Every structure is written in C-alpha cells, then in structure tokens.
C-alpha cells in the first residue's frame, strides 16, 4: 500500500480495494495476502476469533501463515432511499443498514457507521412505527446539502443485436467486470443494454430462485444506469474516463417510476 498512497492500508476502502486490484492485475494473481504473523498468537485469536476459526476450518492457521484476500463489493454505496426515520416512500416500509441510503456514510462506507445505522436507525424506526399507529404521518424526503437531487426513471433501451443468455453466473461476472471496482463508460453502456434485454425476457417468478434472479437483474440495472449517468468519480464509484470528482455532482441520483410527483 505505501507504493500507492502515503496513508498505506489506512487509506479509504475504495483506494485500498483499487490498489489491491491493480496489484493483482500487475502480478497476474487472484489474491494478495494479509500478514498478522508478527503479532502474538493470543492477540490474534482474541481480537479476530471468527476469522481465526474460519481460516482454521479451511486448513489455514493465520497466527503462522499469510491470509489470502481479494477485493469485495460490500463497500459500494447506494440503496433504498430513506428519510431520517428510516422510512421509505412506501407507507409502512422501512429500510436500514447496507440496503438503505440514509446519507450517514457519504460516498464511501465507513466501518464504524454500521453501528450508527444498527443502533440509531433501529430505535428510530421502532419509535416511528409507534407514531404511525397513533396517527397518520406524512413521509418527508430530505434534500442533499448543496445541489438538488436528480430524479430519474429507468430509460427505454434499444434492442441489442446479440445478448448472452441469462443465468446467475453470467449476471455476477458481468457486474464484476463492468460495474465493479473500476468502471468505464463504454463498459457501463454495454452493461445497461444487456441488463435491459434480460429484463424483457424474464419470466414471472414462481419460486425463490426466480424471485431472487428477477430482483438481482433489477438491482444490477439500477446500479449500472446510475454509474453510467454519474460522469465523475466519487468515493467507491470510480470511472477511468472521469477519474476526478466534480462539485456539480454533489447530489444523489434517485430512481422512481413516477418522477413527476412528490413521492
């Protein structure tokens, strides 16, 4: 990490993830390694008991061996739009945690803020639901400081001449390759076209797997469309064709079916 940024491994998550990806590409490897072998074994097992046991079950003793790791996508931002009470625009539906866009993280997920979401928003949602039982409450949507939010509906997409058949593995590979840690406008454009085509051929869901696949395609398209529309880099959203942040993009992109109304 010192080869990439002065903060080394204490840099923001998106910077660390991209640095790991660059190193993997440079060396042709599918992993890098964490080293905690310099620490006393009792400290490792006490501080990281779940990781220690998981690795041990896989035949790896992290007190004596390096830990293979690769970037993951859990730090990506976005989610269901909520107000400061955890309410969505659908009456009675609340969202919190990584599924929600509460605004408390900014453009890059902060580790300790998960406690804020778990403790503060959980308590607020309970209080709000109790208020709703007593009287009708109007959902109020907060505005992003600075510029106004952008409201969009999913655009219609022209049919592509060739589209790969849809399955879960191909969807995962497409999103990792084109809408992952490093993004490019041309790849995003190709991705939204494929996802829009897949949406058109989806069958009505009949079991858990088909429900999940339908929802994954929709979530993937929302992410890809937003990434294509946001022509800048900000936090976890990094585009090589727009590598810098722009003050004009200090706003949220909000998708909804009816962009003419207030809800």
Distance between CA atoms of residues 233 and 231, nearest Å? 7
Q: Quick one: tokens of 174?
A: 């497409």
The verdict on whether 13 is a catalytic residue reads: yes
Instruction: Please answer whether residues 210 and 165 qualify as being in contact, where contact means their C-beta atoms are separated by less than 8 angstroms.
Output: no
Close Cβ partners of 36 (under 8 Å, ≥ 6 residues apart): 44, 48, 62, 63, 67
Q: For residue 204, how far is the Cα from the chain centroid?
A: 26
DSSP state of 10: G
- Residue with tokens 């009675």, as numbered in its chain: 92
Instruction: Please answer whether residues 249 and 229 qualify as being in contact, where contact means their C-beta atoms are separated by less than 8 angstroms.
Output: no
Q: Which of 13, 18, 230, 234 is catalytic?
A: 13
Catalytic residues: 13
């Amino acid at each position: 990490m010192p080869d990439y940024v002065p903060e080394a491994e204490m840099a923001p998550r998106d910077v660390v993830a991209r640095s790991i990806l660059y190193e993997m590409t440079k060396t042709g490897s599918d992993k890098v390694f964490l080293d905690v072998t310099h620490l006393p074994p009792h400290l490792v097992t006490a501080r990281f008991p779940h990781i220690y046991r998981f690795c041990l079950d896989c035949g790896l003793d992290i007190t004596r061996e390096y830990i293979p790791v690769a970037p993951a996508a859990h730090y990506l931002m976005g989610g269901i739009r909520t107000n400061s009470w955890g309410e969505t625009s659908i009456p009675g539906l609340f969202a919190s945690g990584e599924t929600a866009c509460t605004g408390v993280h900014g453009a890059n997920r902060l580790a300790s803020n998960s406690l804020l979401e778990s403790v503060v928003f959980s308590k607020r949602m309970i209080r709000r639901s109790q208020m709703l039982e007593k009287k009708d409450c109007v959902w109020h949507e907060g505005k992003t400081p600075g510029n106004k939010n952008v409201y969009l509906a999913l655009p219609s997409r022209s049919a592509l001449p060739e589209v790969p058949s849809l399955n879960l593995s191909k969807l995962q590979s497409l999103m990792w390759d084109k809408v992952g840690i490093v993004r490019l406008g041309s790849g995003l454009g190709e991705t939204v076209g494929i996802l829009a085509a897949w949406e058109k051929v989806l069958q009505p869901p009949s079991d858990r797997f088909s429900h999940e696949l339908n929802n994954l395609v929709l979530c993937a398209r929302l992410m890809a469309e937003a990434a294509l529309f946001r022509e800048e880099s900000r936090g976890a959203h990094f585009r090589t064709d727009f590598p810098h942040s722009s003050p004009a993009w200090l706003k949220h992109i909000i998708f909804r079916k009816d962009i003419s109304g207030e809800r």
